[in-house]
Amino acid sequence: MTIRYDGKVAIVTGAGQGLGRSHAIELAKRGAKVVINDLGGSKDGVGGSSEAAQAVVAEIEAMGGEAIANGANVAKYDEVEAMVKQTMDTWGRVDILVNNAGILRDKSFAKGTLDDFKLVLDVHLMGTVNCTKACWNIMRDQAYGRIVVTTSSSGLYGNFGQTNYGSAKMGVIGLMNTLAQEGAKYDIKINALAPTAGTRMTEGLIPEEAFALLTPETVTPAVLYMVSDDAPNKTVICAGAGAYSVAKIIETDGVWLSPEDQTPEGIAASWEAITSAEGEAQPQAGFEQTVKFTGKAMEGLGLTQG
């Protein structure tokens, strides 16, 4: 069955080039009306121009699709609100939000400034929060929404010189994990993309032959799946060079230590058992950890749960 988005309205942030442009064009090809949001700044977030966004709109219109350009800075909520109002005034709904906009200010933690750190958090994390917040009640009221946040292997696993970027990229995972629960009864699904693409952000970091394989177009199918009617929920899909995987946060089963062993020395002595992969699981909500730990304690103490 072909996945299409006829009658659906999508907002894609940072859609003037790279990944965002690819996402927007493919959504439009499959029937979505698309808002091309792009501040038009440099990769470190300086400046602004509507040319890139307008060019993507022209591309979409040339192939018979519908699109409008918007230059909102995702880090400024009033501008985001105005973008969503423009969308509603034009098409009357918002079905899909792809949070893609981002900047880089790479430096080791020792050398980086707090201003740069805050700016990266503002664009990646608060930008995602702002856009999602501005669309959330609309999606609730229409009982339908598909949201993608963009995370990164730099956040999931770490990357030298990217403490600011990595912090922001793990922040959106925390946002997703809770919003997936809050949006479930309204058919709002939220997933995360961890892309590896040969964009201006990654140029010069990997060999040229490998770089050539990392096209934005090989990442976009993951986004198209995540915003489809039958999308998963609360899932981190990794994509690059035509390869796709899922990243999961797992927790070991762990052990309960008797009161006399509840010491740092006791933890050290039981470390192998605490870190054992046997019985590890992927919790679906934070409360599951509480239930597991209290259950182990009750069992260890010989108490029965009433």
Residue 4 belongs to a domain = no
What pLDDT is recorded for position 42? 58
My answer on whether 30 and 161 are in the same domain is yes
Instruction: Answer yes or no: are the C-beta atoms of 148 and 223 closer than 8 Å.
Output: yes
Read off the pLDDT band of 212 (50, 70, 90).
Answer: confident
pLDDT surpasses 90 at 244: yes
Annotated catalytic residue 165: yes
Read off the pLDDT band of 305 (50, 70, 90).
Answer: low
- Asked which of 70-84, 201-215, 232-246, 254-268 is least confident by mean pLDDT, the reply is 201-215
My answer on whether 180 and 288 are in the same domain is no
Across residues 103-121, what is the average pLDDT? 96
pLDDT surpasses 70 at 201: no
What pLDDT is recorded for position 46? 57
Residue 252 belongs to a domain = no
My answer on whether 228 and 295 are in the same domain is no
pLDDT surpasses 90 at 200: no
Catalytic residue among 157, 165, 186, 225: 165
For the chain, give the longest Cα–Cα distance: 73
Across residues 131-157, what is the average pLDDT? 97
Residue 168 belongs to a domain = yes
Quote the domain boundaries for residue 203: 9-247
pLDDT surpasses 80 at 26: yes
In the numeric block, the tokens 């750190």 are attached to: 117
What pLDDT is recorded for position 256? 98
Residues 227 and 10: their CA atoms lie apart, in Å, by 9
3-state secondary structure of 288: helix
My answer on whether 148 and 281 are in the same domain is no
Residues 84 and 94: their CA atoms lie apart, in Å, by 8
My answer on whether 104 and 161 are in the same domain is yes
Residue 3 belongs to a domain = no
Read off the pLDDT band of 128 (50, 70, 90).
Answer: very high
Domain count of the fold of the chain: 2
pLDDT surpasses 90 at 162: yes
- Asked which of 154-158, 179-183, 187-191 is least confident by mean pLDDT, the reply is 154-158
Domain boundary residue among 205, 227, 247?
Answer: 247
- pLDDT tens-digit readout, 71-97: 999 999 999 999 999 999 999 999 999
Instruction: Return the CATH number at 37.
Output: 3.40.50.720
Question: Residue 293 contacts by C-beta under 8 Å, 6 or more apart in sequence?
Answer: 254, 256
Mean pLDDT of the chain: 94
My answer on whether 82 and 196 are in the same domain is yes
DSSP single-letter state for residue 259: G
Across residues 36-54, what is the average pLDDT? 74
Across residues 151-155, what is the average pLDDT? 95
